[in-house]
């Protein structure tokens, strides 16, 4: 069974409140998902709470997962990212401190390109090809927003670029990405 098929089966069992399946699902996916949370919510302890909240949603909504619409990890990743972004966007946490530029050099360095961070899987390859077709600023703003949860204002500050420019980079970049992905 492929990893995806196994996760799909585990989610189906979770929908019937199978705790063992849930524990296995957690064991198999929590590393990937915790990595995702940790990029956005820097403090380990808070990230752990955010991860718990996300898994609670996964447990309660496992029955909503539709394997014909999404891969299990994509579906779970969306729940986890939403939880992390919600936490970050909560007014009490607005003093979010963006990661220092040095730590993001692989994103800032245009020469490095996105392929280094995207695995070789075909779908990711396509995404990677499409990202490569974006202009440097568009791609960089999008990656910083996705991986680090930066807001428009934080992106503007981080990239030393006017807010209006950052917004239009994102909008044009997203629409171009959509066109490219839909065509391939």
Partner 1 sequence: MRYQDPQLAELLAAEYVLGTLKGRARQRFQALLQAHPALRSKVREWEWRLNRLAAATPPVTPPPATWDGLAQRLFPSVPCLPWRQRLSVWRNLALGSGLLAAVLAVLLVIAPPAPGYVVLINDASQRPVWLITASADRQHLYVKSLKVMNMPEKKRCLLWLQPKDSPQLYALGVLPDKGEAMSLKVAKGMRSMLPGQLLVTVEDSGPLPTAPSSPPHYRGEWMSLDDI
CB-based burial of residue 173 (10 Å sphere; 0-12 exposed, 13-18 middle, 19+ buried)? buried
Q: For residues 103-162, which are near partner 1 according to CB under 8 A?
A: 117-119, 121, 123-124, 127, 142-143, 145-147, 149-152, 155
Q: How far apart are CA 135 and CA 180, in angstroms?
A: 13
Q: How far apart are CA 86 and CA 107, in angstroms?
A: 24
Q: Which residue number, 32 or 101, has a Cβ lying nearer to partner 1?
A: 32
Q: For residues 23-82, which are near partner 1 according to CB under 8 A?
A: 23, 26, 30-32, 34-36, 38-40, 44, 47-49, 51-52, 55-56, 59, 69-70, 73-75, 77-78, 81
Residue 1 Cβ, how far from partner 1 at the closest point, in Å? 18
Q: Which residues contact 141 (CB under 8 A, 6 or more apart)?
A: 155, 159, 166, 169, 170, 173
Q: How far apart are CA 152 and CA 165, in angstroms?
A: 10
Residue 143 Cβ, how far from partner 1 at the closest point, in Å? 8
| φ/ψ of residue 88, rounded to 5 | -65, -35
Residue 49 Cβ, how far from partner 1 at the closest point, in Å? 8
Name the DSSP class of 93.
G
Token code pair at residue 137: 């600023």
Binding site for partner 1 (CB under 8 A): 19, 22-23, 26, 30-32, 34-36, 38-40, 44, 47-49, 51-52, 55-56, 59, 69-70, 73-75, 77-78, 81, 85-86, 88-89, 91, 117-119, 121, 123-124, 127, 142-143, 145-147, 149-152, 155, 170-171, 174-175, 177-178, 181
């Amino acid at each position: 069974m492929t990893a995806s098929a196994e996760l799909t089966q585990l989610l189906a069992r979770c929908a019937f409140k199978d705790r063992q399946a849930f524990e296995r699902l957690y064991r198999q996916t929590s590393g990937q998902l915790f990595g995702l949370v940790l990029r956005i919510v820097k403090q380990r302890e808070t990230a752990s709470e955010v991860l718990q909240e996300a898994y609670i949603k996964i447990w309660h909504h496992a029955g909503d997962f539709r394997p014909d619409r999404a891969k299990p990890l994509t579906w779970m990743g969306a729940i986890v990212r939403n939880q992390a972004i919600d936490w970050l966007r909560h007014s009490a946490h607005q003093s979010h401190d963006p990661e220092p530029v040095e730590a993001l050099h692989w994103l800032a360095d245009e020469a490095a390109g996105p392929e280094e961070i995207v695995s070789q899987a075909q779908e990711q390859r396509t995404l990677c090809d499409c990202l490569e077709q974006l202009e440097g600023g568009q791609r960089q703003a999008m990656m910083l927003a996705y991986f680090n949860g930066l807001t428009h204002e934080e992106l503007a500050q981080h990239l030393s670029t006017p807010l209006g420019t950052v917004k239009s980079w994102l909008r044009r970049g997203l629409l171009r990405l959509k066109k490219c992905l839909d065509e391939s």
